[in-house]
Amino acid sequence: MTRYSKILGTGGYLPEEIRTNDDISKTVDTSDTWIYERTGIKSRRIAGANETASSMAEIAARQAISAAQIAPEDIDLIIVATGTPDRVYPSTACLLQHRLGIKHCVAFDIQAACSGAIYGLSIADQYIKTGAVKHVLIVGSEICSRIVDWTDRGTCILFGDGAGALLLGSSDEAGVLSTHVYSDGGYEDMLYCPNSQAATEANKHELGVINMRGNEVFKMAVNTLERIVDETLEANNMQQSEIDWLVPHQANIRIIAATAKKLKMSIDQVIVTLQEQGNTSSASVLLALHEGISDGRIKRGQVVLLEAFGAGFTWGSALIKY
């Protein structure tokens, strides 16, 4: 018997505080117009003082579990993608497992920056296809606002906080058609966040905040995503016209537009949350997917292409029949 994985439910959570471009322009030399024209971002959410990656993950996860109409104890595996874990260890996934009241399942974190959700989906798909598990909870949860230098105009305008969740289940019908994930650590210095707690003598002066060479990252992202779009279509013997929806990582509207152009898709066929959420790193693809499903745009039977690019560099795609 051939096993497949299928989306059973999604969830999402955004913190209450909204920080607009105008708010940022009060402390940094920038403006709403300057930010929006270059990024497509108007505002982003900021986690509350007592919120954590695991607390946000729990809210998104419970929504996905409810939508899937299963009990928490039916979950066999929890994968949390995050670059802002509650603790170095135990993993945020273990903390989430406890919050959900699940005693017997496997739980671990992955760190693939903005590609984390795609990596998590790919891992979950393999577990289900081998028959090792039946239900996998994938969560991307990030508090980017705590690792951003709010005096650095190049980065503080980009990032926001939030959590997205996806419940994947075993099915006799193909749901996840293919996943494609890659990494190349040779570009480590283009986009990184130092770990100040484990710093060597040589780099102990570095603050634990996001560092990015924006123009270079932009060029690499556009070129890399174009190649993976071609690979994904070829692997599934599909034409561009057969894709109903593009759900991209929400990094920059120009990157999103370039990928849509590659697919010959109208921007109306792209789920864009960037304007009001900013870049929520590993949470962004799952938050966008949840929005597209919950508002009724993405319908059962439609073909959806997910894609992301992040620090590492890491990148990936997933083609899904919802």
Rg (CA), the chain: 19
How far apart (Å, rounded) are the C-alpha atoms in residues 58 and 258?
A: 34
How far apart (Å, rounded) are the C-alpha atoms in residues 136 and 104?
A: 13
Cβ atoms of 121 and 176 closer than 8 Å? yes
Cβ atoms of 83 and 111 closer than 8 Å? yes
- Strand stretches in 128-195, DSSP E: 135-143, 161-171, 176-183, 191-192
Residue of 94, 105, 114, 156 marked active site: 114
Q: 3-class DSSP state for residue 110?
A: strand
For residue 16, the 8-state DSSP code is S
Cβ atoms of 105 and 76 closer than 8 Å? yes
Q: 3-class DSSP state for residue 157?
A: coil
Residue of 21, 94, 105, 279 marked active site: 279
Q: In Å, how far are 165, 214, 282, 299 from 322, measured between CA atoms?
A: 15, 34, 21, 7
Cβ atoms of 167 and 68 closer than 8 Å? yes
By the 10 Å C-beta count (0-12 exposed, 13-18 middle, 19+ buried), 224 is classed as middle
Cβ atoms of 194 and 313 closer than 8 Å? no
Question: Among this protein's residues, is 144 annotated catalytic?
Answer: no
Q: Residue 222 region, left (φ>0) first, then alpha (ψ -120 to 50), else beta?
A: alpha
Question: Among this protein's residues, is 114 annotated catalytic?
Answer: yes
C-alpha angle 249-251-255 in degrees, rounded to nearest 5: 90
The catalytic residue positions are: 114, 249, 279
